[in-house]
Amino acid sequence: MPLLDHVMHQMSTSMIPACYRVIVCWWVVLLLSCTVATSHGQPPLISRLAKDPATSLYTITVKADKSPLVVDLAGSLVWSTCPSSPKHGTVPCESTTCDTAKQQGPAAGCRYVDGGRFWENRKPGSSWCACTAHPLNPVTRECSTGDLTSVAMSTNTTTNGTMDLRPEEPFAVVGACAPARLLRSLPASATGIAGFSRQPLSLPSQLAGQRGFGKNFALCLPVFATFGDTPVYMPLPSSPGLVDYRTNIPYTPLLSNAGGHYYIPVKGISVSWNGVHVTAQLPAGVLDLDSRTGRGGVALSTATPYGTMRPDVFEAFAKAFDDVITRKGNVPYRWLPVERVVPAVKPFELCYRGSFTRLRRPSAYDLPYITLELGEGATWNWTLYTDNYMVEVDRAMCVGILPTAMDSKPAVVLGGRQLENNLLVFDLDNQRLGFSQLLDFRLTSCSSSKFSRN
C-alpha cells in the first residue's frame, strides 16, 4: 500500500518531531488493520439507516462511537468533527492518499465557514506537514478545511448468499476533520457526512478497496445499506419464501460526469392517470448531460428531501401534471372534481384538493403516476407512484417536486422522497443502477427485507 510505504519512510527520517511519531505510529497501526482485509475478498457489510424527522435526511451509524453520519450520495469524503486540539493521527502531505485528496479539491462555489484556515498553524515552527481536505455540507453548501485522519468504524458483516448477520467487525477509513459549525442544518445528532460518490475517498470506494468485494453497494431508504456483492432478500407475493430482489428489478446505465452526482439517462417525462396520458413538452436537449461541466441531466440525491427541476423543465412538467389531474375536458371522470389550490401550500408549487380514493393493495391514494422515460441501455422506465412524489399537507395533496434556480447544474434531481422505499443497487463495476421503483406496488418494502427480520 503506497501510503504505508511512504509513512514508514517518513518515520525513518529525522524530519518528524518525536511528539508526532507517536501519532504516525497510531496511524500506521490503523492502516495496517485495514490492509489485512485487502488480500482477499471479504464478506459484505450491512448497516442500518435512519430518517431524521426534522430534516428528512438519512443517517448511517458506522462510526465506532455510534454517532450518526448523514448519507450524501454525491459526497466525495467521509468527514466528522474532531477534537479541538491535535490529538488525532494525520496523513502526511507527501503521500498518495493526500495526492488523492488534493485532486478532489473544494466544491465549486462553496462558502468557507472558517476562511479555509481550520487547523492552520497547528504548531508554530514545526516541520510536520499534515494533509488537509475540504469537507462540504451538502445542505448549506458551506465547506471547511480540515486534517485528513483515520476514522474508526464498525458494522455487521453478512454471510455470502444468505444475508444473515454476523457480529460487528471493526475497520477504519480515511476521513476529514471539520468544525462543529459545519454541521448547521444537519440532524441534531449527526457528527458529519458519509459520502457515497464514485470518488476514491468516499465510504463505498474505500470499503471496496480495503475488502476486495467489488465496487457495489445498495440503498433501501430509510432502512439499510449494503456494501459489496450481496443478495437482498425480500418477500415476493408470486414466489414462496424470500427472493433476491437484485435479480427482479430493472437496470439503467449510470452516466459519467465531472462531479460527484449519479446521473441516469432520461429522454422524456410523462404523466398518466385513468387513461389520460400527457407528455411534458420539454425544451430540446434540456435533459442531456454535459459530462464535462455537469450541466443538465437527471441526478440522484439523498441530501435533498424533495425532487427539484430547473424552471424550464418544471414549467413543462407542471402543465402536463395539471392537465392530467384536473382532467380538463375529460367528461367520464367529472364526478370526481379535482381543483388546484392557489396559492399552493409552501414550499410546494402544485397542490390539489378533491375526492381522492384509496387503493386497497397497496394502501395508497389513487393519483397520477409520473414516468421518467429512460434512454438507451435501460431495461425499463422509472415510474414514480403516489408515495414517491405526493405529500399530504393541510388537507391538500402536494407534488413533492419543486422548481429550483435556473443556474442549477442538474436539470432534474430525484430527492429523498423519490428514492425512499426503493431498492437502489449501485453496480459501479458495470456502471449501472438497479431500481425497484416503489416497493409498495410489489407488495413489499425495505422493512420487509431479511435483514430487518434479524
Helix, strand, coil shares of the chain, percent, nearest 5, are: 20, 30, 50
> CATH second-level architecture of 244-453?
Beta Barrel (2.40)
The CATH code of domain 2-230 reads: 2.40.70.10
pTM beyond 0.85: yes
Query: Can you give the residue ranges of every domain in the chain?
Result: 2-230, 244-453
* Total number of residues shown for the chain: 454
Which is nearest to 177 in space by CA: 304, 107, 83, 44? Answer: 83
CB neighbour class for 437 (10 Å; exposed up to 12, middle 13-18, buried from 19): buried
- What distances in angstroms separate CA 91 from CA 27, 150, 191, 296, one per listed residue? 8, 8, 21, 37
Contact in structure between 338 and 326 (CB atoms under 8 Å): yes
pLDDT of residue 235: 81
Domains 2-230 and 244-453 share a fold: yes
pLDDT of residue 236: 77
pLDDT of residue 27: 41
pLDDT of residue 174: 95
- Express each pLDDT in 68-83 by its tens digit: 999 999 999 999 998 6
Three-state SS for 325?
helix
**Residue burial 163-182, b: 16+ Cβ < 10 Å; e: rest:** beeeeeeebbbbbbbbbeeb
Q: Tell me which residues of the chain have a pLDDT lower than 70.
A: 1-41, 83-87, 115-128, 160-163, 258, 328-336, 452-454
pLDDT of residue 43: 87
d(Cα 451, Cα 242) in Å, to the nearest integer?
A: 11
pLDDT of residue 342: 92
